[in-house]
Structure 1
Amino acid sequence: MIVTSHTAAPAATVERLGRVRRPSRSTAVRRDWLVGYAMAAPAVVGALAFVVAPLIVVAWYSLHDWNVLAGTFTFTGPANYQRMVQDPGLHDALLASLWFSIGLVILNVSLAMVLAVLLNQKLPATTTFRTFFFSPVVVSLVAWTIVWSFLLQKDGGINGMLSLIGIQGPNWLHGETTAMVSVIIVQVFKNVGLNMILFLAALQGVPEELQEAARLDGAGAWRRFRSITLPLISPTVLLVSILTIVGSLEVFAQIAVLTGGGPGNSTTVLVYYLYQQAFRFNDFGYASAISVLMFLIVLVLTLFQWQTRKKWVFHEV
């Protein structure tokens, strides 16, 4: 009697559970979609409000002659874009941005790679070495630039150190070539630590077995790096390249504090030229057209890198 009662109860329970109505597959799929949309909604709303909407507004402003001080807002159509074609100041700004981007990308990426490789060797004082190069990343950009403005003066710290070895340093911020080189170097040392950490994380993911097998086959350090390490960390190289190129086109504080765009227009990059048109000459319509041009340049460069990734990014092959 006791055994029968205990075995009958679970059977009855299972039978009742079997009659419980379960949600259909379509209902479960719909619920998953709703949860997914709810999770993605904040990012989508933020992108629409702070990226897409401002782009549309700026594109609309670029079709107008808008002077805040004069209180004029007149529709001019493509006149601002036609003006860009004939503006020598804009041409100089594009050329300065090109030189700045080339110098920054080459120096920043290559130096970050070298530093990451050294850190990956686990040499003595690695923690101190890593802290020394990463600390500028968290330092205020304006404070960092002001310190360098004193170091780069004619009688500043850099020339003072050069004089100890009998070298007469130039007036770094007042020569057309040296001013651009100075701005590039300041920006390199400001952000190289971030790229160094990204490369270091990628290097630590390279399987040691592959390195050991290549070493046993007689491959030297450079051959192992070129044929094994570099292909395996190529996704990180792509990420760092995109971030550095986009960052090179957005430099402003360094130019404003160090050189003010001079001497002449030698360091007047595109963002600083945009700032001059908008807030110095109060020509917001033309500045908006320059903003659209800058957006298109960044978009084209990013798409170009993304489309060509299959030719050199290992995991995309």
Structure 2
Amino acid sequence: MNTNTLAPPARVETRAGGAGQRPRRRFLTLKRRDRIAGYLFITPQLAGIVAFVLIPLVLVVYYSFQKWNVLSGSIEPAGLDNYQKLLSDPQMPSVLGATAIFSVGLVLFNIPLALLLAVLLNRSGRGIAFFRTVFFSPVVIAIVAWTIVWQFLLQDNGGVNGFLKLFGIAGPNWLESGPTAMAAVIVVQVFKNVGLNMVLFLSGLQGVPAEIQEAARVDGASAQTVFARITLPLISPTILLTVIITIVGSLQVFAQIAVLTKGGPGISTTVLVYYLFQQAFQFHNFGYGSTLAILLFVIVLILTVIQWQLRKRWVFYES
């Protein structure tokens, strides 16, 4: 009998304690720890969205069905009364008309001017950085301070009319008549924000491949053709972004109206946001003010969705 036969290996006990048992998996695996860390990083942002966006939005919808007078401290269900008042409000056509005029005027002046400035400053050379800074500087100036300065400039004896007098032109008091007051508010807002769109267009222009433009010039294309057929299509996503930002911003303008015209003369410059402010905080009718806020939200949402759907027709990268 062979005594050198190897004995069967002894059964090894695991750390789990039982013989032959598989070790327990740790609960905080690397994947779970990464997931928890990600949730912790986005928690402050989510909390801010819930506290300052979702909850106020729900409350606005709730208050739009209430009759709430802050002075008397009374709040009671109003059903659809606020919405019926919205449909029968005699000032609403004028308010919506002023809002439309302001938004259209701002887009028509802001976007082309910003694109022109971006094209002129999209080069290297002495003084280019200085001019970029000059045109962008109004963006970082406090809106109220900027508007107060323009309020003095637009007076009957202000700086604008003083400049026109040098050429023998007698300027009006720009803020005292409806058409000139609206034009003044639009121009002030254009000069305030044109620098932001200029920077966006500059980033888009600097992303256009130079070799494509050079190839078109070699083939005999003029500068106008290169810009219209190559540059504009390639920066069309940037154009879409600036148009959306400008339109949404125009529907939310408040400080310029409050400082320059206070909605006047009459209600010629009373845009929807300022009318909302009047109803809620001057007339203390928070229920109707909440209804106007919902109207503003619906208008912004519809315009944004329309622009987003139309992007497939004129944005180069969409199909």
Q: Determine helix, strand or coil for the equivalent of 2:175.
A: helix
The one-character-per-residue Cα deviations of 1:148-173 (angstroms, maximum 9, x if unpaired) are: 00110011100111011111111111
When the two chains are superposed, the root-mean-square deviation of aligned CA atoms in Å is: 2.0
Q: Determine helix, strand or coil for the equivalent of 1:172.
A: coil
The answer on 1:299 being equivalent to 2:301 is yes
- How many residue pairs match? The answer is 297
Q: What residue in structure 2 maps to residue 17 of structure 1?
A: none
Instruction: Give the distance between the partners of 1:280 and 1:227, measured in 2 at CA.
Output: 52
Decide whether the 8 Å contact of 1:90 with 1:273 is kept in 2: no
Amino acid in structure 2 at the alignment position of 1:75? P
Instruction: Give the distance between the partners of 2:203 and 2:25, measured in 1 at CA.
Output: 45
Q: What residue in structure 1 maps to residue 234 of structure 2?
A: 232
Going from structure 1 to structure 2, the CA distance change for 1:173 and 1:219 (only over 3 Å counts) comes to same
Q: What residue in structure 1 maps to residue 66 of structure 2?
A: 64
Instruction: Give the distance between the partners of 2:289 and 2:269, measured in 1 at CA.
Output: 18
Shift of residue 125, structure 1, vs aligned partner: 1.8
Q: What residue in structure 2 maps to residue 167 of structure 1?
A: 169
Per mean C-alpha deviation after superposition, the further-off stretch among 50-59 and 221-230 is 221-230
Instruction: Give the distance between the partners of 1:313 and 1:34, measured in 2 at CA.
Output: 39
Q: What residue in structure 1 maps to residue 215 of structure 2?
A: 213
Decide whether the 8 Å contact of 1:100 with 1:248 is kept in 2: yes
Q: Tell me which of 132, 157, 179 is aligned to 2:181.
A: 179
Q: Determine helix, strand or coil for the equivalent of 2:79.
A: coil
Instruction: Give the distance between the partners of 1:33 and 1:315, measured in 2 at CA.
Output: 33
Q: Determine helix, strand or coil for the equivalent of 2:124.
A: coil
- Higher percent of residues as helix: 1
Instruction: Give the distance between the partners of 1:87 and 1:276, measured in 2 at CA.
Output: 14
Instruction: Give the distance between the partners of 1:140 and 1:74, measured in 2 at CA.
Output: 40
Instruction: Give the distance between the partners of 2:219 and 2:268, measured in 1 at CA.
Output: 52
Shift of residue 281, structure 1, vs aligned partner: 0.9
The answer on 1:135 being equivalent to 2:155 is no
Amino acid in structure 2 at the alignment position of 1:249? L
What is the 5 A alignment of 1:23-42? 30-42=32-44
Q: Tell me which of 85, 91, 94 is aligned to 1:92.
A: 94
| TM value normalised by structure 2 | 0.89
Shift of residue 308, structure 1, vs aligned partner: 1.6
The one-character-per-residue Cα deviations of 1:78-108 (angstroms, maximum 9, x if unpaired) are: 1101110111212211110100000001111
The answer on 1:288 being equivalent to 2:290 is yes
Instruction: Give the distance between the partners of 1:123 and 1:211, measured in 2 at CA.
Output: 20
| TM value normalised by structure 1 | 0.89
Amino acid in structure 1 at the alignment position of 2:162? G
The answer on 1:82 being equivalent to 2:89 is no
Instruction: Give the distance between the partners of 2:166 and 2:152, measured in 1 at CA.
Output: 18
Going from structure 1 to structure 2, the CA distance change for 1:84 and 1:131 (only over 3 Å counts) comes to same
In structure 2, runs of 5+ residues without a counterpart are: 1-22
Shift of residue 234, structure 1, vs aligned partner: 1.1
The one-character-per-residue Cα deviations of 1:244-282 (angstroms, maximum 9, x if unpaired) are: 111101111110111110011110000100011011111
Q: Percent identity?
A: 60
Decide whether the 8 Å contact of 1:274 with 1:290 is kept in 2: yes
Q: What residue in structure 1 maps to residue 7 of structure 2?
A: none
Q: Tell me which of 143, 148, 151 is aligned to 1:149.
A: 151
Q: Whose Rg is larger?
A: 2
Q: What residue in structure 1 maps to residue 112 of structure 2?
A: 110
In structure 1, runs of 5+ residues without a counterpart are: 1-20
Q: Tell me which of 57, 75, 89 is aligned to 1:55.
A: 57
Per mean C-alpha deviation after superposition, the further-off stretch among 120-129 and 178-187 is 120-129
The one-character-per-residue Cα deviations of 1:42-74 (angstroms, maximum 9, x if unpaired) are: 222221111011000011001011111122111
Instruction: Give the distance between the partners of 2:74 and 2:255, measured in 1 at CA.
Output: 30
Shift of residue 38, structure 1, vs aligned partner: 3.2
Shift of residue 288, structure 1, vs aligned partner: 0.6
Decide whether the 8 Å contact of 1:93 with 1:265 is kept in 2: yes
